[in-house]
Amino acid sequence: MRIRDIVILTLAILIGSGWVIFSGKDGFKATNGMIVARSISIVSTIEGRVEITSSEVGAKVAKNALLASIRNHRIDLTRSAELQSRLTLLQSEILNARQVHDGLTELHKKFEKRRTSLLAWRLEDLRLQQSVLTHAVNAAIERNRLKSKEVGRTQMLFQKAHVSNVNLDTVKAEAAIAQTKLESAKAKLARAELLMRTATANDTIIFEDGETSYWDKTIDILNLRLFDNAAKLMTLRAQLDEVQAQLDVENERMRTNFVEEHRAPFDGIVNAVFVTRGARVNSGTPLFQVLDCSRPIAIVPIPEHRFSEFSVGQKVTVYPIDSEQAIQGTIKLLSSGPLLGRDTTISVQQDMTLTGARAIVGFDGQNQSRALGSCDSARKAVVTIHTKSLFDTMAAWFYENFPKTVFNGNDNQSIPAS
């Protein structure tokens, strides 16, 4: 290879290396950034006439300062009448529900009294049945014992030919019947004991077929009706409280003759006044636009094809074009759609927004007060977003993938770093 080719190749390598090192030194730079104050629009929520206008464009206002009041002299009683009618209806329904509750409670007491009396009678009846059945079981046991002995004696006589085969079969049949009667008596006694245990444990009247009494069934129905009535009363009372609160608000509005006051939501500057003293306005009519100068932001256009290179949290340096100072900030939001509504605190006014992809930058606390300079208009700025250069990416890759070494000054050998 000729010397000229070597020199050209060396220069190309040096130029390329320099480009790699310095191309990303300052990151992405935009010359058409804009520093703006956040703003809020104040609108009327009623129809009326503007009676007070205490601020002009450019005037400084303190938080809660009165800007304007809207008065509607035509008091509309329709809403109040509707709420009063609803309140009266709910009160009537609650009264009816209480009367139903009292009636159900009285019936419940009567049925409970009858059920208690019947339960006491039923328990006593079951005790008597248990006593009778216990005696019947004892008698059946004795009868079964005697019949068993009789079968034994008859078999001995049959073997000696003193009785016929017919007599032996008759005695055996009577013994089998006695055994059956004994088992039946035991079963009846066990059932009576089961009914007694169930009635005592559940405090419920249980009959032979397992059914509960008419009084128990009726009391269960009454309990369900009482529960439904209590739930209905709770709902009606909640609705009554809600309507009463709405009526109180409406009455307060009428007592103040439909006066609506609009105050400054924060310390700032009046940027626009859309109404004059004495003007009539409708609900939704814009009244003022107030700038919040304490927390400005910067809006930075970014290329669509490089959108993925940026992320929330990246550091940013903003240079206002009419100042030599550098203001530090951080990307708070990346957007390629409408900006209005994305700021959950104060919207940025429409005429200050930029189209296309953009980054919204918030300033550090100590830099917010000097970001805008003046609060009456937007301020253009050159903005640098500190992205990583190709050199930084390559250096980080080598650092992560190759072991660090240090060199010994005497023998020029590399040894692992501690």
Domain ranges of the chain: 23-74+266-401, 81-235
Q: Report residues of the chain scoring pLDDT below 70.
A: 1-2, 4-5, 7, 12, 14-26, 54, 73-77, 202-213, 253-258, 337-355, 366-377, 388-418
pLDDT value at residue 77: 66
pLDDT value at residue 405: 44
> Do β-strands 259-263 and 327-335 pair in parallel, antiparallel, or remain unpaired?
unpaired
pLDDT value at residue 345: 41
- Which residue, 202, 269, 214, is CA-closest to 63? 269
pLDDT value at residue 416: 36
pLDDT value at residue 339: 53
Diameter of the chain measured on Cα atoms: 152
- Count of residues for the chain? 418
Q: Please check whether residue 389 is in contact with residue 20, taking contact to mean a CB–CB distance below 8 angstroms.
A: yes
pLDDT value at residue 96: 93
- In this prediction the pTM is 0.40
pLDDT value at residue 355: 63
Q: Please check whether residue 96 is in contact with residue 236, taking contact to mean a CB–CB distance below 8 angstroms.
A: no
How far apart, in Å, do the first and last CA atoms of the chain sit? 43
The answer to whether domain 23-74+266-401 has CATH 3.40.50.720 is no
pLDDT value at residue 90: 92
Q: Please check whether residue 219 is in contact with residue 212, taking contact to mean a CB–CB distance below 8 angstroms.
A: no
